């Protein structure tokens, strides 16, 4: 039973375009939603995170949109660059249950120059 479902599995975008990755969760107790970025041969690294008390968070070219009623959240990468080519994972956790993350299946993003 996958509690966090991520789509698409892969996407190709032209340089300067917008990359959009979507995640849906089932457990309404989740209260922390981070996105991790992973380059080949490396471990994942935190990119940006959001809590359900806000609907949007922006850091540079990366934006998280959060829809609590739909139990969905998404990552938008604006002005995508070849250096953004990586695998992106959404995740969710329950603050009161410690720091355990439940990850989505991942999205491999390729930005073509």
Partner 1 sequence: DAGITQSPRYKITETGRQVTLMCHQTWSHSYMFWYRQDLGHGLRLIYYSAAADITDKGEVPDGYVVSRSKTENFPLTLESATRSQTSVYFCASSESPAGGQETQYFGPGTRLLVL
| φ, ψ for residue 7, nearest 5 deg | -150, 150
93: contact with partner 1 by CB under 8 A: yes
The whole-angstrom separation of Cα 46 and Cα 39 is 12
Residue with tokens 């989505």: 104
Which one, 43 or 113, has the nearer CB to partner 1?
43
> Is residue 28 close enough to count as binding partner 1 by CB under 8 A?
no
Query: Using the rule CB under 8 A, which residue among 28, 41, 53, 69 binds partner 1?
Result: 41
Nearer to partner 1, 47 or 111 (CB): 47
Buried b / exposed e over 104-113, threshold 16 CB at 10 Å, is: bebbebebee
55 and 70 in contact (C-beta within 8 Å)?
Answer: no
Choosing from 74, 89, 109, 111, the residue that interacts with partner 1 (CB under 8 A) is: 89
Helix (H), strand (E) at residue 87: strand 86-92
Q: Please, which residue, 61 or 108, has the CB nearer to partner 1?
A: 108
Q: Which residues bind partner 1 (CB under 8 A)?
A: 2, 4, 6, 9, 32, 34, 36, 41-46, 49, 89, 93, 95, 98-106
């Amino acid at each position: 039973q996958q509690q966090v479902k991520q789509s698409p599995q892969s996407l190709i975008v032209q340089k300067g375009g917008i990359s959009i990755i979507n995640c849906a969760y089932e457990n309404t107790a989740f209260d922390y939603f981070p996105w991790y970025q992973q380059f080949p041969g490396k471990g994942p690294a935190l990119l940006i995170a959001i809590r359900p008390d806000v609907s949007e968070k922006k850091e540079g070219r990366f934006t998280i949109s959060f829809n609590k009623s739909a139990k969905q959240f998404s990552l938008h990468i604006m002005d995508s660059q070849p250096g953004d080519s990586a695998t992106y994972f959404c995740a969710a956790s329950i603050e009161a249950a410690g720091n355990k993350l439940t990850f989505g299946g991942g999205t491999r993003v390729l930005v073509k120059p």
